[in-house]
């Protein structure tokens, strides 16, 4: 079954058709800079444009950078506050004329890794952390997702963790890999104390550069990069259409 997967992030919106049986990308990827302001209107225009460009008529799965409950946007850390309370499923559905599923972006990436990536056949607790503009989290126990964990909003060093340790902060503050990894390691240590995971999977754009910062991580838990790297978000968004039970 083919599904259009769309990964909506703080800096880019990425899309591709996905074969949900194999988790593979079919054809080209599209990458569009996230519009500013990041409002319901501007995002809806981009999503409709993607559908038109790919001439797609069929199911669409979206990963969205917020907690999503029953299709409704509950938080707005890196998007415009006017999203809060909006039913994003109804909005995108009406705009595209296609059946749309929307889940949290990190949950989507985690789903892809659990089904086809570094988390396959993992028992116990797996915690996937994605980092780009924010810090996203996806918590699994024996392959089952607890959605919307929003662990990037824990407090660390007297601030919101994602304002201290996300990949965007590394760029913004001009930190070296070693300096940034020190902060990211503190974050993983905090998660370790709270969740006692068996495995951490690290995703997001920076996961491609894992050899540059993994040597500086000193948590006791096993840490692996996302096998699907940054494509986990698009693939998982599409997979959420058949896995959506939350």
- Choose the binding region for ligand BGC from 26-34, 60-68, 115-123, 221-229 (rule: CB under 6 A): 60-68
Interface residue with ligand BGC among 117, 134, 147, 225 (CB under 6 A) is: 134
In the complex, the smallest distance separating the C-beta of residue 77 from ligand BGC, rounded to whole angstroms, is 3
Nearer to ligand BGC, 98 or 160 (CB): 160
SS (H, E, C) the chain: CEEEEEEECCCEEEEEEEECCCCEEEEEEEEEECCCCCCHHHHHHHHHHHHHHCCCCCCEEEEECCCEECCEECCCCCCCHHHCCCEHHHHHHHHHCCCEEEEEHHHHHHHHHHHHCCCCCCCCEEEEEEECCCEEEEEEECCEEECCCCHHHCEECCEEHHHHHCHHHHHHCCCCHHHHHHHHHHHHHHHHHHHCCCEEEEECHHHHHHHHHHHHCCCCCEEEECCCHHHHHHHHHHHHHHHCCC
Interface residue with ligand BGC among 47, 60, 66, 145 (CB under 6 A) is: 66
In the complex, the smallest distance separating the C-beta of residue 68 from ligand BGC, rounded to whole angstroms, is 8
In the range 189-228, which residues lie near ligand BGC by CB under 6 A?
A: none
Using CB under 6 A as the criterion, which residues of the chain lie in contact with ligand BGC when the complex forms?
9-10, 65-67, 75, 77-78, 104-106, 130, 134, 136, 150, 152, 162
């Amino acid at each position: 079954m083919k599904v259009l997967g769309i990964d909506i992030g703080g800096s880019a919106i990425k899309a591709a058709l996905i074969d949900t049986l194999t988790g593979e990308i079919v054809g080209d990827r599209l990458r569009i800079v996230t519009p500013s302001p990041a409002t319901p209107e501007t995002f809806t225009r981009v999503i409709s444009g993607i559908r038109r460009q790919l001439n797609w008529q069929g199911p669409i799965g979206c990963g969205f950078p917020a907690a999503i409950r029953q299709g409704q946007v509950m938080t707005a850390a890196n998007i415009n506050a006017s999203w809060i309370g909006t039913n994003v499923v109804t909005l995108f559905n009406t705009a595209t004329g296609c059946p749309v599923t929307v889940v949290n972006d990190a949950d989507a990436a985690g789903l892809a890794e659990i089904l086809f990536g570094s988390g396959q056949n993992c028992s116990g607790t797996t915690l996937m952390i994605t980092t780009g503009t924010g810090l996203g989290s996806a918590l699994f126990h024996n392959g089952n997702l607890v959605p919307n964990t929003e662990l990037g909003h824990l407090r660390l060093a007297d601030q919101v963790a994602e304002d201290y340790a996300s990949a965007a902060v590394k760029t913004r503050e001009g930190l070296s890999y070693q300096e940034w990894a020190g902060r990211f390691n503190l974050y993983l240590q905090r998660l370790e104390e709270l969740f006692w995971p068996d495995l951490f999977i690290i995703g997001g754009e920076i996961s491609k550069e894992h050899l540059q910062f993994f040597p500086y991580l000193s948590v006791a838990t096993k840490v692996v990069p996302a096998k699907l790297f940054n494509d986990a978000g698009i693939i998982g968004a599409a997979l959420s259409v058949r896995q959506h039970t939350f």
